[in-house]
């Protein structure tokens, strides 16, 4: 009977980590940022910035997978609190200070736990700005940042070599970049890597063959992309393990 109760209890604990709860952080500016928290007590916390593309099932599944492996994940929509539309230009309207204050609040709430950031596409700018603000203004270091098919150009115009967002030259982080092979970004990945390294970041680049940008959230996903999306948690786990060193609790 005791053994049965223990097994049931363990099962309940595991199930609890695979369900998300909403957690709200109110910032000094008055903005309230709400995250879906996939808990993994005592483990590092991966702050996954979303919002530029709506809620995506593959992200929730991946977050649950990672939590099951001991990495707590906070899926966080950063456009919603400002009522910003899901357009590329919206990320520029999120204040740096709010991003840094968010990290600081989480650090106070969860002392001693490593914080990692992750974002995709245009939201990559938010992740880098959050880490920079925390470091420069609050002297708090983020353990590392994962960028999935990052879109960090500062405007694009025909015939003109695009520059990168200002934060690229102000980032000094351990970075992991995941770049789909079927992507325009694949051809310019080394250019971005070199620019980030020139600013002082350590950059590990992983190319994912057979998929496009946003592979796990495309309406026109190929069979290969659907399969890759189903294994997103595994892909992110390997990326985190391979690139950011020992992040076990």
Partner 1 sequence: MMRILILFLALGLGTPASAAELKDLAPRPAASLRLPTLDGKQVDLGQLRGQVVLVNFWASWCPPCRKEMPSMNRLSRLMQGQPFVILGVNAGEGIETVQGFLKHTPVHFPILLDEKGTSLKPWQAFVFPTSFVVDKRGQIRMGLLGSIEWDAPETVARLRTLLAEK
| Contact status: 83 vs partner 1 (CB under 8 A) | no
If binding is defined by CB under 8 A, does position 209 make contact with partner 1? no
Q: Does 82 bind partner 1 (CB under 8 A)?
A: no
* Of 19, 125, 117, residue with least CA distance to 63: 19
Size of the site for partner 1 (CB under 8 A): 35
Tokens of 209: 């063959």
The interface mask with partner 1, positions 100-129, x = CB under 8 A, is ---------------------xx-------
Residue 43 sits in the site that holds partner 1 (CB under 8 A) = no
Shortest spacing between CB 188 and partner 1, in angstroms: 6
Residue 47's CB: how many other CB atoms inside 10 A?
23
Classify 181 as helix, strand or coil: strand
Shortest distance, position 144 Cβ to partner 1, whole Å: 24
What is the Cα–Cα distance from 157 to 135, expressed in whole angstroms? 32
- Among the candidate windows 5-13, 35-43, 63-71, 181-189, which touches partner 1 by CB under 8 A? 181-189
Q: Where are the beta strands (DSSP E) in the chain?
A: 20-26, 32-38, 45-50, 72-77, 115-120, 144-148, 174-182, 202-212
Q: Given the complex with partner 1, which of 61 and 218 has the nearer CB atom?
A: 218
State the minimum distance, in angstroms, from the CB of residue 87 to partner 1: 6
The first and second tokens of residue 103, run together, are 């990290």
User: Does 79 participate in binding partner 1 (rule CB under 8 A)?
Assistant: no
Neighbours of 7 (CB within 10 A): 10
Considering only 5-13, 75-83, 93-101, 207-215, which stretch makes contact with partner 1 by CB under 8 A? 207-215
Interface with partner 1, residue 186, by CB under 8 A: yes
Calpha distance 40→247 (Å, rounded): 13
223 binds partner 1 (CB under 8 A): no
Which of 148, 169, 142, 125 lies closest to 211 in space, CA to CA? 148
Which one of 38, 48, 153, 216 is in contact with partner 1 (CB under 8 A)? 153
Q: Show the tokens assigned to 143.
A: 């353990």
Residues within the interface to partner 1 (CB under 8 A): 52-53, 86-89, 121-122, 149, 151-162, 181-188, 212-214, 218-220
């Amino acid at each position: 009977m005791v053994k049965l109760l223990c097994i049931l209890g363990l099962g309940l604990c595991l199930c609890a980590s695979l369900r998300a709860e909403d957690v709200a952080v109110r910032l000094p500016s008055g903005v309230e940022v709400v995250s879906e928290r996939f808990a993994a007590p005592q483990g590092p916390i991966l702050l996954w910035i979303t919002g530029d593309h709506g809620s995506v099932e593959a992200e929730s599944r991946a977050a649950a997978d990672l939590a099951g492996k001991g990495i707590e994940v906070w899926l966080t929509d950063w456009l919603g609190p400002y009522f910003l539309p899901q357009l590329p230009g919206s990320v520029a309207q999120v204040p740096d200070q709010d991003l840094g204050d968010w990290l600081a609040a989480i650090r106070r709430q969860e002392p001693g736990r490593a914080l990692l950031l992750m974002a995709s596409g245009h939201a990559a700018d938010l992740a880098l700005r959050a880490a920079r603000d925390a470091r420069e203004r609050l002297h708090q270091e983020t353990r590392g940042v994962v960028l999935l098919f990052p879109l960090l150009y500062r405007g694009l115009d025909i015939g003109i070599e695009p520059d990168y967002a200002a934060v690229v030259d102000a980032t000094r982080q351990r970075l992991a970049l995941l770049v789909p092979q079927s992507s325009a970004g694949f051809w310019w990945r080394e250019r971005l890597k070199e620019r980030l390294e020139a600013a002082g970041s350590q950059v590990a680049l992983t190319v994912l063959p057979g998929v496009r940008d946003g592979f796990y959230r495309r309406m026109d996903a190929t069979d290969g992309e659907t399969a890759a999306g189903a294994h997103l948690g595994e892909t992110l786990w390997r990326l985190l393990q391979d690139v950011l060193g020992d992040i076990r609790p």
